[in-house]
Amino acid sequence: MIEKLKEIEKKYEEIEQKLSTPEVVSDQAQYKALMKEHKRLLPIVEKYREYAAEERNMTDAEEIIAEADDPEMKKMATEEMLASKEKIKVLLDELQVLLLPRDPNDDKNVVIEIRGGAGGDEAALFAADLYRMYTMYAASVGWKTELVDCNETELGGFKEVSFVIEGDGAYSKLKFESGVHRVQRVPATESQGRIQTSTVTVAVLPEMDDDIDIQIRPEDLEIETCKSSGAGGQHINKTESAIRILHKPSGIVVFCQTERSQVQNKETAMRMLRTKLFDIEQQKRDEEITSARRSMVGTGDRSERIRTYNYPESRVSDHRIKLTLYNLTNFMNGDIDEMVNALIAADTAEKLKAGNGED
């Protein structure tokens, strides 16, 4: 592992040198690619240099212990050596995590689609609650949210809602949210006070980079324009600015009505279509790698029930990692970091376990 870290540090230093050359600075594509790689390697190099400094401290302390005649100096050096040994052990564990294979999509923005499932109006209301939860979380970490499409109900819920979250590492944080979310609560429309169980599905897709080549032929598209509409058929505006695109080979339909301009809606719809086609390619690739160990947390099975939100008990339970939190109000207000970090930690632990050859 140390040899690999030395190679990474050397590569990092070479990238730093290239980034200062006029040839690279004038080539935006190359500069962008090198900056991306520089950013990826930086935490590994910083941690390795911290480890190397502790190694030097330990070696110096060992030399003092071997050569010094002063008992007090030997004692101090021994304390230094033991402290460095403990730090080195921690740093090696952290480096092992940093060297795990990264999901190439981790740094990307995400497209999130939320759909009401079983439960009718109550499911649609909870879909709106989840939309609010994710947008509040995004705002709390400084990410930008863009609504792409929504199908509202008369009660203010969403039969379905699609939106983009733009932010550094958004996919790495939110990719484990894909799946079925179950809610248990008394609906606003329930006069007898009975608890109802409803479900909502969430799909989290990495937004596709512009530099990834996804072939979309104009003849494969069926594009329609229509007037944007809201709940109850109320028109958002009178012009035909909404765009519906059917990709005939895949059967994928995308719809965008959130912008006033037809051109802007078309650009956003095409962005969504490219992301969905990219996701299909990703799934095909993942299915082909049959020998690869599936993560305990997983992100692929959108039919899997992953979490329950129980309002009477003010608890939220993630069934994959057996974690229950009793802070539902704060959670629904976007305070989901504890759950997000626990899911990432569980996934990391599983990868480490697999890498060590354990069952």
Q: So where are the chain's domains?
A: 2-98, 110-211+299-352, 218-287
* DSSP-assigned letter for residue 183: E
Euclidean distance between CA atoms 214 and 234, whole angstroms = 36
Structure tokens at 317: 């339970």
Range 34-43, long-range pairs (CB < 8 A, 24+ positions): 36/107, 38/12, 40/102, 41/8, 41/11, 41/12, 41/15, 42/12, 43/98
**pTM above the 0.85 mark?**
no
> What is the CATH number assigned to the segment(s) 218-287?
3.30.160.20
Query: Can you give the pLDDT at residue 291?
Result: 39
Q: Are 299 and 176 in contact (CB under 8 A)?
A: yes
- In which band, very low, low, confident or very high, does the pLDDT at 227 lie, cut at 50, 70 and 90? low
Q: Would the pLDDT of 50 be above 90?
A: yes
In tens, the pLDDT along 323-351 reads 999 999 999 999 999 999 999 999 988 88
The pLDDT value recorded for residue 202 is 94
Contacts of residue 357, defined as CB under 8 A and 6 or more positions apart, other chains included, come to none
Looking at the domain 110-211+299-352, which fold is it? Alpha-Beta Plaits (3.30.70)
In angstroms, rounded to a whole number, what is the distance separating the alpha carbons of residues 164 and 150? 12
Residue 24 pLDDT more than 60? yes
Query: According to DSSP H, which parts of the chain are helical?
Result: 2-19, 22-26, 28-67, 71-98, 121-140, 170-174, 262-288, 328-332, 337-355
Structure tokens, 291: 């020998």
Q: Are 112 and 162 in contact (CB under 8 A)?
A: yes
Whole-number pLDDT of residue 263: 79
Q: Which residues pair with 102 in a beta bridge?
A: none
Name the least confident of 16-20, 96-100, 168-172.
96-100
Question: How much is the pLDDT for 240?
Answer: 61
Averaged pLDDT for residues 177-206: 88
Q: How far is CA 22 from CA 16, 17, 133, 322, in A?
A: 13, 11, 46, 53
Please state, in angstroms and rounded to a whole number, the distance separating the CA atoms of residues 109 and 145: 10
Mean pLDDT of all residues in 112-128: 91
More confident position, 185 or 69: 185
Q: How confident is the model at residue 56 (pLDDT cuts 50, 70, 90)?
A: very high
Distance from C-alpha of 138 to C-alpha of 129, rounded to nearest angstrom = 14
More confident residue, 270 or 211: 270
Report the mean per-residue pLDDT for the chain: 84
Q: Are 255 and 268 in contact (CB under 8 A)?
A: no
Is residue 298 predicted with pLDDT exceeding 60? no
Higher pLDDT, 309 or 350: 309
pLDDT of residue 88: 94
**pLDDT average, residue stretch 216-245:** 66
171-to-24, 40, 53 alpha-carbon distances in Å: 29, 15, 33
Confidence of residue 277 (pLDDT cuts 50, 70, 90): confident
Q: Contacts by 84-89 with C-beta closer than 8 Å and gap 24+?
A: 84/54, 84/55, 84/57, 84/58, 85/58, 87/54, 88/51, 88/54, 88/55, 88/58
Query: Starting from the edge strand earliest in sequence, which strands make up the sheet with 315-318, in order?
Result: 144-152, 158-166, 110-116, 196-206, 179-185, 305-310, 315-318, 323-325
pLDDT of residue 236: 44
